[in-house]
Structure 1
Amino acid sequence: MYLGIDLGTSAVKLCVIDAEGNLIAQSSKDLPISHPFDGASEQNCEDWWEATRACIKALDPALRIAIKAIGLSGQMHGAVVLDAQRKPVRPVILWNDARADVECSDIIAADPSAAQHAGVLPMPGFTAPKILWLSRHEPEAHAKIRHVMLPKDYIGLCLHGGCVTDPSDAAGTSWFDEAARCWSARLCELTATEPAWLPHVLHGTDVAGTLLPDIATDLGLTPDIPVAAGAGDGAAGAVGLGAVQAGDGFISLGTSGQLFVTTDAYRPNIENRIHAYAHTVPDHWFQMAAMLNGARPMAWLADLLNRPIDLLLTEAAEARPGPLFLPYLTGERTPHGDTTIRGGFANLGEGMSQGSLMRAVLEAIAFSFADAAEAFAKAGTAPTSLLAIGGGTRSDLLMQMIADVTGITLGRSDEAVVGPALGAARLALVACGDKPMDAVMQRPTVRHWFKPKGAIDHSTQIRLEAYRALYPALRTVQQKLR
């Protein structure tokens, strides 16, 4: 048996697979998140570890003792800053935190070539600008830093005691030279970072360390089993879907959204805000459109209305198009690179229902993928068929909307909701040497294909154009409010 741990933003999720890749068990534990000021997003890494422990202990004891290896996946970009004793200096600044906007501009002003090396323009959500922000706004905390880690790698530290990451998670920091696949001294210099603070980089299928005896006893696992270096959630999702060869790809509908295509070379496209990152497997990279608001607006609206999301989705399917929604609750990366923009409804009327609000949210998520597909096309990549992962894939209506507005056929497998945890478990299987990578990283059986109905119909095209007009309009309004 092989355990995959995925440290998400809203929850820790685990899955256990057997040597044939069959899903044997799952568990999850929700995570708290704090927003100490507008645009800020933080978590405590101690909460991550306690949730991970709870998830593992929720598995059957006989299953736990049969686990032969562990793999890791997790939310990218978070700044886990540790002192000399490897204890947290402060709460973790997350991927959807917007505080380091000025620092990003300063990085590019200091060295315009930085983005070409890092794979994309620096953005506040990335790790490096956050450390520069700490040096300016929390100098006492910055002075204590001796290690900087990525979220999943903190779980690795707890499991095996080492400071290790993989190329895909390193890629999202803005410290990594994507073409050379190593830390860049120049990018560190630009961001008040000592290269010695950064973790050792191993491929995702490499063994980062072995399970510490006291941790094994606490968790009911076998001591000294290997822990794979793992992958950032995007790359782990790709591994779970077998998207490890050039041209393979998927969309992800989790808290954030992604459109991801594997490449056999480093292909940056800075002007279209397509991320070009090193993959977790050797000699491969990927292009990715990153949307900060994925399927999260669905849960946000359900929480706001205090109604079950399934009922709202049923009502959305019956509602006629009416209101428009801009889903940028925490800013946006692709295509705008704007951390200050916020969401909003437009075209509201007295005939509006809660179902029509949810339909507007679903439509906006689909339109954000239409923007992503357009950015990909400008970058010279035009996928015609992609697999899909993440909790948002449960909605047939949303999946069909995305297929229709992007013109991309989407495939959903039984493992779609498992997502990156499955990729992490696959990396564990390879790391312990039980099977070669080619045999493990196969594409899943697609149970449902969502095919575009054809060219976008006139009414949908009009609504897409209106949706795209919302961003500059609301940006103008919000600038007046500041």
Structure 2
Amino acid sequence: MAYLGVDLGTSGLRALLVDEGGAPLGAAEKTYEAQHPHSGWSEQDPAEWIAALDAAVEELRAAHPEFAGLRGIGVAGHMHGATLLDAAGKVIRPCILWNDTRSHLEAAELDTMKGVRDLSGNIVFPGFTAPKLAWVSKHEPENFSKIAKVLLPAAYMNYHLTGSYFADMSDSAGTSWLDTGARDWSEELLAAGGMRREQMPQLLEGCEPGGRLKPELAARWGLSGEVVIAAGAGDNAAAACGIGAMNEGQGFVSLGTSGVLLAARDGYRPAPETALHTFCHAVPGRWYQMGVMLSATDSLNWLARITGTTPKELTAPLGKTLRAPGRVRFLPYLSGERTPHNDAEIRGSFTGLGAETTRDDLTRAVLEGVTFGLRDSQAALEATGLRLDRLIAIGGGTGSRYWLKLIATALDVTLDLPSGGEFGAALGAARLGMVASGARRVEDVMSTPSIREEIAPEPALRSAFDDAYQRFRGAYAAIRSVQ
């Protein structure tokens, strides 16, 4: 038997095939792009997701005969996206993505409504789904009038696979329509956003079966047995499943396009005033909280782009020996910020530049600025009573040893680096597919990866980074007053 995990990302799709023990058999990746027709807009045609899945499946089928024994599929998706379908199940307009900020005014309006934060457990961020629909209602009334279903990207993929409308709790918690504590759609929240329950998909726990693979897809993929489709998960909840972050305090720091500091919680402890995200986990009876910064490795990619280099070429000269913070300071708000500021308007800056400033100085400043942004999220988590002593480090940014030492020291946490292999959202999705099919139990399959190395804080530099962090915090207040 085999199981498929699909990680539906913003820039591409990753499909991971695992055996009945959860060991990877093979993977395929296909890319696509977002469209930005106006400043602050970010959209995708869902047909590109389906084309990417078809191509990935064909590659896996050709390379791995085990694919013929497929018995379960789980889908993880980028959260908050608004995929609008009409009564015939056809896509009305391109999906409005998580990093689209056009609805910041609608988000602010919803956020001030009585009971919205109390029920959802979160600030209504511009990237969330509810304000997107309020924007469509205001600016595209003809499209709004056609809406029969609103699906998140993972739920749309589930619909493609099964023909049924269902979504999991973790993904749905990022809509501002879910009563996150009760794990159900809220009539009050839906009404606040001008929506109705019948426009929502069925809610399931991520490890529950949502449907069966459509016969026409099974035939096209060369499958004869029944294939169960799990409800799936939002991308970060799936990543937590992939590294076994299921219990109180287990978590990770992710250095991807965005930066995430996530911790599993054994209960529901919303703290919207901190701009933390408090969401349902992908398994019953658990939640997680995370701080999100919008430009993590994206800040380094930006510096590489404008200097005509690559991120690796920028970080390589820094070596492996951590240095005290430099004079140059960088605020990593290239696309606004979520935690802790909830500020769609703020933009980044360099300060402390001099005639002697080098490219290496700029690179160090970018790494430090992103790290201090992650420390903002750490402070927000600690405000809920959680102390993080260890975190698993994942994402493309972990290729820089200097950056890892910087994060460990500035956050005063030990970073665990997983051994080579799979441990991300695609593996978490595959694990959900295994549980949904009845092959494994949550407590057996959601295990932590083996750790190849620990990165400990450097005590001698701790106070220097504490001081630099306080200056970073002051710099935000100063620049916000003039922007």
Instruction: Please tell me the TM-score bracket, short chain as reference.
Output: over 0.9
How far, CA to CA, are the matches of 2:234 and 2:223 in structure 1? 24
1:51 correspondence with 2:56: no
1:335 correspondence with 2:340: yes
Which consecutive residues of structure 2, in runs of 5 or more, have no partner in the other structure?
none
Choose which of 370, 374, 391 in structure 1 pairs with 2:375.
Answer: 370
Q: What one-letter code is carried by the residue in structure 1 that aligns with 2:129?
A: T
Choose which of 233, 236, 239 in structure 2 pairs with 1:237.
Answer: 239
The aligned counterpart of 1:284 is: 286
* Cα 1:14–1:359 shift into 2, 3 Å: farther
1:426 correspondence with 2:469: no
Counterpart mapping for 1:318-329 below 5 A? 321-329=326-334
Quick check: 161-170 or 284-293, which moved more? Answer: 284-293
Choose which of 121, 124, 135 in structure 2 pairs with 1:122.
Answer: 124
Q: Report the Cα offset of residue 167 of structure 1.
A: 0.5
Quick check: 422-431 or 354-363, which moved more? Answer: 354-363
How far, CA to CA, are the matches of 1:365 and 1:27 in structure 2? 30
How far, CA to CA, are the matches of 2:137 and 2:29 in structure 1? 36
The aligned counterpart of 1:473 is: 478
Q: Counterpart of 1:258 in 2: which secondary structure? A: strand
Q: What one-letter code is carried by the residue in structure 2 that aligns with 1:263?
A: R
* Cα 1:46–1:220 shift into 2, 3 Å: same
Choose which of 136, 139, 142 in structure 2 pairs with 1:137.
Answer: 139
Counterpart mapping for 1:27-426 below 5 A? 27-59=28-60, 60-111=63-114, 113-222=115-224, 224-317=226-319, 321-414=326-419, 418-426=423-431
Q: What one-letter code is carried by the residue in structure 1 that aligns with 2:68?
A: I
Identity %: 40
Q: Counterpart of 2:112 in 1: which secondary structure? A: helix
Quick check: 313-322 or 18-27, which moved more? Answer: 313-322
Give the structure-1-normalised TM-score. Answer: 0.94
How far, CA to CA, are the matches of 2:223 and 2:122 in structure 1? 40
Q: Counterpart of 2:454 in 1: which secondary structure? A: strand
CA displacement 1:435-460 (0-9 Å, x = unmatched): 22211111111111111112754443
- Is the 1:317–1:359 Cα contact (8 Å) retained in structure 2? no
How far, CA to CA, are the matches of 1:302 and 1:240 in structure 2? 30
* Cα 1:315–1:80 shift into 2, 3 Å: same
Q: Report the Cα offset of residue 373 of structure 1.
A: 0.9
CA RMSD of superposed structures (Å)? 2.0
CA displacement 1:373-413 (0-9 Å, x = unmatched): 11111221111112122222222222221111111111111
* Cα 1:422–1:104 shift into 2, 3 Å: same
Q: What one-letter code is carried by the residue in structure 2 that aligns with 1:445?
A: S
Q: Counterpart of 1:405 in 2: which secondary structure? A: helix
Q: Report the Cα offset of residue 127 of structure 1.
A: 0.4
* Cα 1:417–1:37 shift into 2, 3 Å: farther
Q: Report the Cα offset of residue 125 of structure 1.
A: 0.6
How far, CA to CA, are the matches of 1:296 and 1:253 in structure 2? 9
Quick check: 179-188 or 339-348, which moved more? Answer: 339-348
Q: Report the Cα offset of residue 133 of structure 1.
A: 1.3
Quick check: 309-318 or 66-75, which moved more? Answer: 309-318
How far, CA to CA, are the matches of 2:200 and 2:309 in structure 1? 44
1:4 correspondence with 2:27: no
* Cα 1:66–1:336 shift into 2, 3 Å: same
Q: Counterpart of 2:182 in 1: which secondary structure? A: coil
* Cα 1:358–1:51 shift into 2, 3 Å: farther
* Number of residue pairs matched by the alignment: 477
How far, CA to CA, are the matches of 1:218 and 1:341 in structure 2? 49
- Is the 2:69–2:225 Cα contact (8 Å) retained in structure 1? no
How far, CA to CA, are the matches of 2:53 and 2:361 in structure 1? 38
Quick check: 414-423 or 72-81, which moved more? Answer: 414-423
